[in-house]
Structure 1
């Protein structure tokens, strides 16, 4: 018995509670999904950054031993990135000699640029560019 001598209708209360829970879920679920997708995008971008850095490092390592072989350096970068699932073209790889010469003892710099597509472009403003540059001394 409820207050005032009336009998409580438990079905009505359960139905109201269930309806309230569904409304709360409908309000919070889109926010949680956006947060989740943002986390996934961040993880994917971080992974792409690691892959791009490793590819640039591999190109710089090869370039430190074969500085005159610019095509070979770019091929190393492209193959290293492709092995991890990222497609890079030769135009995305820049090979330069900061001191202006490819003589032993001077540095070689390999810069890789990658256009990263977001899952949730409306959160972070569209696609973003990931760039990594590695410098090594020529042997």
Structure 2
């Protein structure tokens, strides 16, 4: 008789446990979804920067085309693109910088950098990370042409 009395008192226990576990599982699932989206965004940025660096390595004097090449591989225009040759910023229509291109010849380094604020969509995750997470990608490559002048 005593055994049946305990079963009656614990009737809703499994339902309460299930409700608590479901909340934690959904929070973990939300985090996995946002991390997956963030990884996809990072890989997209890296591939676009690599495309731009490869283009700038062959055509270092065409900054606008390099920036356009990067932007064509991105889903929207909410990215900051910076192209620099041998440590000096490249003049382009996208950045409105007036720094002229110097030393754009073989053996010099080209850097394509991308910055973007990733928007966190899951509300419980944004409590810990904030509404956005800054992302930065930088790809370095060596210019392959034209040959450098050997004259001083």
**What TM-score, normalized to structure 1?**
0.79
- Work out the CA distance in 1 between the residues paired with 2:77 and 2:116: 7
List gaps (5 residues or longer) in structure 1: none
1:79 corresponds to: 72
Counterpart check, 1:107 vs 2:109: yes
Greater per-residue helix proportion: 1
Residues 56 and 133 in structure 1, CA contact (< 8 A), matched pair in contact too: yes
Find the aligned partners of 1:122 and 1:3 in 2 and give their Cα distance.
Answer: 48
Q: Alignment length, in residue pairs?
A: 127
Alignment of 1:58-69 (within 5 A): 58-69=51-62
Equivalent-residue separation in structure 2 for 1:112 and 1:15 (angstroms): 61
TM-score by length of 2: 0.73
> Which residue among 15, 33, 37 is the counterpart of 1:22?
15
Question: Map of 1:29-44 to 2, 5 A cutoff?
Answer: 29-44=22-37
SS at match of 1:102: coil
Is 1:134 the counterpart of 2:139 in the alignment? yes
Moved segments of 4+, more than 4 Å: 13-16
Aligned Cα RMSD in Å?
A: 2.4
Q: State the structure with more CA Rg.
A: 1
Q: Aligned pair in 2 of structure 1 residues 55, 27: CA closer, same or farther (>3 Å)?
A: same
